[in-house]
Structure 1
Amino acid sequence: MYKNVLQAIDGIEIYPLISFTIFFVFFLGLIVYVILMDKKYVKAMSAIACENETEDTTFEGLKQ
């Protein structure tokens, strides 16, 4: 039933192409962004989780 409804709409065949193009361009851009990222920044951000935390990072500590 739904197939017949969608086939009756003029120009409906362009929407899957637009969706695929947006999907492909987004992930291609994301891959390029990751490849071109500053490696020092990535290394510094990955080391944050391993550092010994002595500061109060709770919500109450941020109010000061």
Structure 2
Amino acid sequence: MLKFVKGYMESIDGVATYPMISLLIFFLFFTILFWWVFTASKEHIKEVSQIPLETEENQPKEESL
């Protein structure tokens, strides 16, 4: 089975570019995420971190339509 997959993958032109594209997307995503973490406002981080701790009594009431 492994020989079949290896032979099949070798027959595809440019197959070596797919892992490189995947690595590039992975690197770019985490680089952008790292940059966002360090530039995000501390007020926003604190506000979002309190969301799981809020109860229904503390949340604003939604109007019914």
Q: Into which bin does the TM-score normalised by the smaller protein fall?
A: 0.7 to 0.9
Identity %: 34
C-alpha distance 47-9 of structure 1, shift in aligned 2 (>3 A): closer
Q: 1:19 aligns with which of 22, 33, 41?
A: 22
Deviation string for 1:8-52 (max 9, x for gaps)?
111111111011101110111111111110001111222344456
1:1-64 alignment, distance < 5 Å? 1-51=4-54, 53-54=56-57, 62=62, 64=64
Greater CA drift, 28-37 or 38-47:
38-47
C-alpha distance 11-49 of structure 1, shift in aligned 2 (>3 A): closer
Aligned residues: 61
| Structure 2 unmatched runs, 5+ | none
TM-score between the two structures when normalised by the length of structure 2: 0.72
TM-score between the two structures when normalised by the length of structure 1: 0.72
Q: Give the letter for the 2:36 counterpart.
A: Y
